[in-house]
Structures are given as C-alpha cells and as structure tokens.
Structure 1
Amino acid sequence: MTTDMVVALSRQAIELALFLALPMLGVSLVVGVFVSVLQAATQIQEMTLTFVPKILSMFIALLLAFPWMMDKMLNFTRELFMNIPTYLR
C-alpha cells in the first residue's frame, strides 16, 4: 500500500464523515438561528431554550436521514472490503 493510496483512502473517509454530519449540522444551524432571533425579539436569555430545540431537531433529522446515511456507509465499507487485495499489493 503506497502513501498515495493511504492519503486517498483517508481523504475519502473524512469526506464521508463530513458529508454524513451535514444534515444534522444544517438543521441545528437553522434551528439555532431561529431560536436566537426568537430570544432577541422576546429578550428571554435562557440557555436551555436553545439547547432543547436543537437536540430535538437533530434527533428528528437523524431519524429522517438515517436510511440515506446507512446506505452511504455500507457502500463505503463494501468498496473498502472489495479493494483489500489492491491495498495489500
């Protein structure tokens, strides 16, 4: 296994991890901005008011995106296992 192959495999793994985290991070960002605007408008500065909606929305986003995420992870793992003979050369 050459260093180029290691770098390429590492790059693919990092890209996949970022790609899989994107739906939850995007939902958390949108909900966080909405709650911040709501807090600024009502002048309520409670920390749990931002934390609970973000956690709930991220959980819902995870439930909705889970089949897609599993498909991506299974494809990556399948490709990794199928290419083991190439990596051992």
Structure 2
Amino acid sequence: MSPEMATELIANAVYTIIEMILVLIVPGLILGIAVAIIQGATSIQEQTLTFLPRMLLTLLMLVFAGHWLLRTLIEWFETLKFMIPGVFG
C-alpha cells in the first residue's frame, strides 16, 4: 500500500464519519440552543426540558436520514472493497 493510498483511505473514512455525525448532531444542537433561549427567557430550569426534545429529534433524524446514512456507509465499504486488492497485491 502506497502512502497516497493510505492517506486517501483515511481521509475518506474521516470525511464519511464527519458527514454522518453532522446529520445527527447539528439539528440537536440547533434545537438545544432554541430550548436554552426559551428557558433563559422564562426562567424554567428543568433538565428534562432540554434532554427530551433533543433525544426525540435525534431519533427522528435517524428515521428520516437512516436510509441515506446506510447508503453512505455501504458506498464507503464498497470503495474499501475495491481498494483491498491494491493493499495486498
């Protein structure tokens, strides 16, 4: 395996991981900020008020983006499958 091939493999893996995580994390962060602003304005400091909506939104993102997440992961593994002969050959 050449250093260029190893670098490309690692870069693709990191990019795929970041891409998949951002789909799940960013909506939860945005919702968390909105709930925190509402809590600050109303002085309600209930912990479950921030946790429950973020958990539900993350689950909804898994439901709606799950197909895309699996497709992206499958594509990355197919790319890896075609790179493996170059590693040992």
- Whole-Å Cα distance in 1 between the matches of residues 47 and 2 of structure 2? 50
- Say whether residues 1:52 and 2:52 are aligned partners: yes
Work out the percentage of aligned pairs sharing the same amino acid. 29
- Corresponding position of 1:63: 63
Residue-pair matches, total: 89
Q: What residue identity is the alignment partner of 1:70?
A: L
- Whole-Å Cα distance in 2 between the matches of residues 51 and 11 of structure 1? 33
- Corresponding position of 1:79: 79
Q: SS where residue 83 of structure 1 aligns?
A: helix
Ranges in structure 1 where 5+ consecutive residues have no aligned partner:
none
Q: What residue identity is the alignment partner of 2:35?
A: V
- Corresponding position of 1:12: 12
- Corresponding position of 1:88: 88
Q: Deviations over 1:53-78 (max 9, x none)?
A: 11111110111000011111111111
- State the shift of 1:3 in Å: 2.5
- Whole-Å Cα distance in 1 between the matches of residues 8 and 61 of structure 2? 30
Q: SS where residue 44 of structure 1 aligns?
A: coil
Q: What is the RMSD computed on CA atoms of the aligned residues?
A: 1.1
- Whole-Å Cα distance in 1 between the matches of residues 4 and 45 of structure 2? 51
- Corresponding position of 1:41: 41
